[in-house]
Structure 1
Amino acid sequence: MKRIFLFLFLISSTVLLSQTVLTSYTIDLKNKIDQSEIMTGENTATHDVFVFATSADSLSILKYNSAVFLRDKFVTSRQYTENRSLMGYSFSEDGNPTLYWFSKEEKTIILIKYYLESKTIRALKFQIPLDENYLLANYQKDNNFYLLLQSKTKQALTAFIFKNGMAEERFLDFSSFKFIDRKTQPKTFNQVLNENPIEKMDSGEYNPLYKVSAKSKLYTLPNRLILTLDQSFRKTQLFDINLENQEIKEKTFMKPIGNKNPKTTNSFYHENKLYQININADELLFDIKDYSSGVSIKTFAVSKDDTIRFSNSPLLMQIEDRQPKQLKNTAKFLKVLSSLDAGLSVYKNQKNLFITLGGSGSDLKSISLNGFNFNDPFGDFPSNSYYNIETNYSAFFESIWTKKLELTKETQEPFAADKVYYFLDSHKEAILPYTLKLSNYTILSYYDIVAKQLVLRKFADGFN
């Protein structure tokens, strides 16, 4: 589900959600869109912006400076990378990019470093040990490329760090730690992850409810991982993983306790604080703890008869991507929320701290076509056919704080992510979208199928 707020449906002019075209580049993908990809990345050492645009038979690398002026380009063939997808990128100390081309069938990555000065390449092959592991996540951080795997037989994760053309392996052993489920029954590390798959949080970006409602979340920091497990109603089990020395430290944060047993709980880690919620139909408990000490900094207990005083928006319920519906009071909101998978998202921009508190879930219904006036001229559907239709739901509200965790009375303004979604929904000619979050704004790169151009647009938080 997309994050769509009520104000998006009230806007009659796109002036309020204005954005700026930074640059465009003419390129013809030759009607092979299904075999084309676009990826945008920042060299965090030089702040150069790179665009990687692939078609079935060519690759275009565009290098822009920090002001997004084109400084260099490299157009080359897809040699060594036929029938492979672009998985990610990294940057070497000399400023040149390395791209990672993945083949699911071969279980390999082709690493190719592209030298823009000499217009030459160097290719290497890396075998991913997918016979013994599951691929959990891949991501870029500090100009390096990371792969994270989960062992099929051992109670462990493995991280591969690619930098300067070399792959460094980190074996992360969780066999010595103890785990329990929500019924306090013992579980192994792999059992917990198999029942609650890891969802990687996007660092520095807004993470929507459908992601943060996951019970196992991974946060990527420089040379460090934070893994939080919330399968238990009683506690958040947090693992602080040092990728330099492979040391794993466990920390336990007890969840707030109410008058009745919770129906749904969760947490979110953000900048050395852990945000926890505990919810049933009668009560919402919200706690913010200091990461180092575990001491509560802020604590809120809201009963169904109370007003949520830290809410800066109406209490909303949304079905799929339809217009959100306002719920009349806290009791109705908690009744809906207690039936969903709870989650909360914390996002900081230059101005404030934004907290989305709510939950998401789905309802699977079987629909019979028998008796419907269904136009089936070819007789493909028997009259007693049943079809499963999944409907996604969410309930949430917005809370706006100062960076010192003080409550505000400000009204919600759109994030750059909202504007990007609104733009793409309104411009069907924009395909192959990819977003890159910079310090002050977001770049949307896409292919304009009418103009046959690769376009970069700038979006920022707030009304312009």
Structure 2
Amino acid sequence: MKKILLCLLLFYKSILFSQTILNSYPLDLKISGINNELLNVENVKTHEVFVFASDNENISILKYNASLFLTDQYKAPIKNLDDKHLIGYSFSEDGNPTLYWSRLDFSYIFAIKYYLESKTFKVLNFSFPSADQYVVDIFQKNNSFYILSKDVSKPTLNVYAFKNGTVEEKIFDFSPFTFQDKSTHLLTFTQLIKENPIEKIEAGDYNSLYKSAKKSKFYVLDDKFILTLDYNPKKTQVFEISMESEEIKEKNFTQSIIQNPKIVSNSFYHQNKLYQITADKSQMFLDIKDFNSNQTIKSFKVSKDENVNFKISPFFLERDGAKPKEFEKTNVFLQHLSKLDIGLSVFKNDQNTFIMLGGASEIEKPFSMFNNFYDPFTQDFPEANFYQGGYPAEIHSKSVYFETELNDNHEFVNPEPQPLAIDNISYFLDINKKVTLQSIMKFKDYYILGYYDKGTKQYIMRKFQDGFETDDAIDPLNTPSSFSKSFLKNRH
């Protein structure tokens, strides 16, 4: 699709990637320090849009109605938050927001409720039991703020729900369930999660291949959570977790059988379907199953000597974030795939379902001074982490993938290629270097990119949609390629 899209762009004298300025507001933020934060979010009950922008001294709150007209604003001082980050938000029944600030270790969480009518605020704090639990992830849903944590020793997941100035803890016990690897060896839930850390997937949004290749994934839906476990390549073990009843239901979805002990497999939940992929060096299966009935809706098989006639892109190989290399041979793709963490990522727009299939992995290696990246004069170690003892380490990444597209009848299609909204946003950010503190939100049937422009000292809100619009602002020869970049960017 990358190659096709580039050819398509050559027929356009100029392209504007569906960007429209919705609003702007003057803000004089001091862009330095830990408290530079920006969020644009929706109150899902009233459909009002709020903007929270902070620096080391103040937080500015902008309130827009559902038609995106500014209706209120409030600037409040920031006190005693020097070492804390803005980690989330919630909305009370009165419509006022609460912001949550925390240290990196989550030991203390400060909840600050802002009353826009009276221009006042109230501070509460919560002590997280960090000695017994660790934070898996944080998220918002239905105007509440949540923390998902794992007990250090017990076979439980804990969910903390923050709203209306209160916090409610719910504990989900996995001790009644059995966990077995491919050799039928028993595992404890704690051992399983330690070896396969949980990755939260953004349901209905873009997810990178690096995220979706994880073996333990957590999906947040309107009325429940879904935990999928692919530690055993023969099956996907799934748990439906009800926040209301606190009930846990187990389901098991078998993978397509390949008579080879060295198989790799994974799954992805999307809109009441489970997409499963399994492969070895000679073949690959893609199965689409109904989540409720476990019935197979579609099944596809590819052998190493066959062409993948349903892909809409070449095979791509990418190393360390460099420009992807294209190749066409299926056997080469399967050879690479068998050595990586296999995965697939699924996203649906208004028309079709996009799927990226492939593998990705990141390896931490000791840094070598005898490579082309080390500068002996500045002694710079680019993007270096450090092992124990202070020795630097490099993160090396590799991914191999291709793209396909399905219609509502689960038939492969190859429509005229157009960029998705997330591609348009990615390109806009690439060419606008004065943009900082960006925040992306889905609103109605489009996306809003909110950001701070350092040059004009304004908060700006832009609308992005799928597809092209003509304008004289952008040279088409410099435009980016397909949605694959979106799935791979922002890996963590």
**Same-fold call, TM > 0.5?**
yes
Q: Does 1:442 align with 2:459?
A: no
Choose between structure 1 and 2 for higher RCO, CA contacts under 8 A separated by at least 6 residues. Answer: 2
Q: Which moved more, 1:127-136 or 1:309-318?
A: 309-318
Q: Tell me the alpha carbon deviations over residues 158-216 of structure 1, each in whole angstroms, 9 at most, x when there is no partner.
A: 10112222212111001111112344321111111111111101122111101100000
Q: How far apart in 1 are the matches of 2:380 and 2:30?
A: 35
Q: What is the one-letter code of the residue matched to 2:158?
A: T
Please provide the CA RMSD for this pair. Answer: 2.5
Is residue 225 from structure 1 mapped to residue 225 from structure 2 by the alignment?
Answer: yes
Distance 1:350 1:378, change over 3 A: closer
- 1:231 and 1:377, CA in 2 relative to 1: closer, same or farther beyond 3 A? closer
Residue aligning to 2:468? 463
Q: Give, in angstroms, the shift of residue 136 of structure 1.
A: 0.7
Match of 1:201 in 2: 201
Equivalent position of 1:176 in the other structure? 176
Kindly report which structure 2 residues correspond to 1:134-153, keeping only aligned pairs within 5 A, or say none: 134-153=134-153
Distance in 2, matches of 1:168 and 1:34, equals: 29
| 2:404 matched residue in structure 1 | 399
CA distance 1:122–1:5, change in 2 (3 Å): farther
Matches for 1:377-456 after TM superposition, within 5 Å:
388-456=393-461
Provide the TM-score with structure 2 as the length reference. 0.87
How far apart, in 2, do the equivalents of 1:330 and 1:379 lie? 42
- In the alignment, structure 1 segments of 5+ residues that lack a partner are none
Task: Provide, for residues 25-44 of structure 1, a one-character-per-residue CA deviation record: whole Å limited to 9, x for no partner.
Answer: 11111342543100111011
Q: How far did 1:243 drift?
A: 0.6
| Distance in 2 of aligned mates of 1:43 and 1:107 | 28
Distance 1:376 1:235, change over 3 A: closer
SS of structure 1 residue aligned to 2:149: strand
Rate the CA distance shift 1:191–1:456 in 2: closer, same or farther, 3 A. same
Quote the Cα distance in structure 2 between the aligned partners of 1:401 and 1:34: 44
Q: CA deviation at 1:362?
A: 3.2
Instruction: Measure how far apart 1:424 and its partner are.
Output: 1.4
Report the counterpart of residue 283 of structure 1 in structure 2: 283
Partner of 2:305: 305
Report matched runs for 1:304-323 at 5 Å: 304-323=304-323
Aligned-partner residue type, residue 17 of structure 2: L
1: CA distance between counterparts of 2:65 and 2:379?
59
Residues 416 and 459 of structure 1 are in contact (CA less than 8 Å); yes or no, is this contact kept in structure 2? yes
CA contact (8 A) 2:35 2:84 kept: no
Task: Give the aligned residue type for 1:409.
Answer: N
What displacement does 1:105 show? Answer: 5.9
Q: Which residue of 2 aligns with 1:244?
A: 244
Distance 1:244 1:258, change over 3 A: same
* Structure-1-length-normalised TM-score: 0.92
- Give SS of 1:356's match: strand
Is 1:28 the counterpart of 2:8? The answer is: no
- Return the letter of the residue paired with 1:461: D
Structure 1 residues 7 and 125: alpha-carbon distance in aligned structure 2, compared to 1, 3 A threshold = farther
- Aligned AA (2:145): F
Residues 41 and 436 in structure 1, CA contact (< 8 A), matched pair in contact too: yes
Moved more, 67-76 or 415-424: 415-424
Q: Whole-Å Cα distance in 2 between the matches of residues 458 and 19 of structure 1? A: 5
Cα distance in 2 between the residues matched to 1:349 and 1:377: 50
Shift of 1:363: 4.9
Over residues 241-286 of structure 1, what are the superposed CA-to-partner deviations in whole Å (9 max), with x where a residue is unaligned? 0011210001011111124345311000111111100011100011
SS of aligned partner of 1:184: coil
Q: Give 1:101 shift.
A: 1.3
Give the SS at the match of 2:15.
helix
Partner of 2:72: 72
CA distance in 2, matches of 1:206, 1:371: 35
Instruction: Indicate the larger mover: 311-320 or 5-14.
Output: 5-14
Letter in 1 for 2:268: F
For residue 223 of structure 1, report the CA deviation from its aligned partner.
Answer: 3.0
Letter aligned with residue 100 of structure 2: Y
Comparing 448-457 and 412-421, the one that deviates more: 412-421
Q: CA deviation at 1:80?
A: 5.1
**Distance in 2 of aligned mates of 1:144 and 1:375:** 48
The whole-number CA distance in structure 1 between the counterparts of 2:45 and 2:31 is 36
**Letter of the 2:407 counterpart:** T
In 1, are the aligned partners of 2:347 and 2:353 still within 8 Å (CA)? yes
**Residue correspondences, number:** 458
What secondary structure, in the 3-state scheme, does the structure 2 residue paired with 1:450 have?
Answer: coil
Distance 1:252 1:74, change over 3 A: same
Equivalent residue letter for 1:356: M
> Residues 228 and 239 of structure 1 are in contact (CA less than 8 Å); yes or no, is this contact kept in structure 2?
yes
Q: Report SS of the residue matched to 1:35.
A: coil
Find the counterpart in structure 1 of residue 61 from structure 2. Answer: 61
**How far apart are 1:96 and its partner, in Å?**
1.1
* CA offsets 1:118-166 (integer angstroms, 9 cap, x no match): 1121221111111110101111111111111100011001101122222
Distance 2:232 2:379 in 1: 50
The runs of at least 4 consecutive aligned structure 1 residues that moved more than 4 Å come to: 4-14, 363-368, 370-375, 377-381
Question: Residues 32-111 of structure 1 correspond to what in structure 2 (within 5 A)?
Answer: 32=32, 34-79=34-79, 81-104=81-104, 107-111=107-111
2:101 & 2:160 partners in 1: Cα distance? 15
1:327 — aligned with what? 327
- Alpha-carbon distance in 2 for matches of 1:58, 1:176: 49
448-457 vs 98-107, which deviates more?
98-107
Shift of 1:68: 1.8
